[in-house]
Amino acid sequence: MAYSDTRIVIGGLAHVPVLIFIANFIKGKFVIKTEETKDALVYEEPVKIIEVKDTVFKEGKSEAIKELSNKLDNIEQKADEVYEKVKKKKKDKKKKKNN
C-alpha cells in the first residue's frame, strides 16, 4: 500500500516533538546543573573617626619599640648561651668517644 507524500511528511512532523522530548530528557541526565548565585547586599554602619594627638601616639609607639628591642636582645643572648652549651657538649662527646 503506497502512501502519498503529504501523509509521509505529516507523519514525520508528528514525531518531531517526541524526538525532541527524548533528546532533551537524555541531555538533562548528563548536563551538570549550576546553582544560581544571589548577590547579598550588606549595609554597614558608618565608622566613627576619633582623632588622636600625634605626640601621645609617638611616645607610646617608641616605648613599645624599646620594650620589644630589649626582649629581642634577651632572646638573642639566651640563644647564644644555648648554642655554646650544645657546642661544648658535642666536643665532650667526641672526646669521650676517642678515649
Helix then strand then coil, % of the chain, to nearest 5: 70, 0, 30
Lowest mean pLDDT among 5-9, 38-42, 89-93: 38-42
Place of cell 537524555: 26
pLDDT, mean of residues 60-66: 79
Better-predicted residue by pLDDT, 16 or 33: 16
Better-predicted residue by pLDDT, 34 or 7: 7
Q: Say if pTM beats, i.e. exceeds, 0.85.
A: no
Distance between CA 99 and CA 97 in Å, rounded? Answer: 5
Question: Is residue 68 pLDDT above 80, yes or no?
Answer: yes
Place of cell 616605648: 63
Distance between CA 44 and CA 41 in Å, rounded? Answer: 10
Please give the pLDDT value at position 56: 52
Share of the chain above pLDDT 70, in %: 80
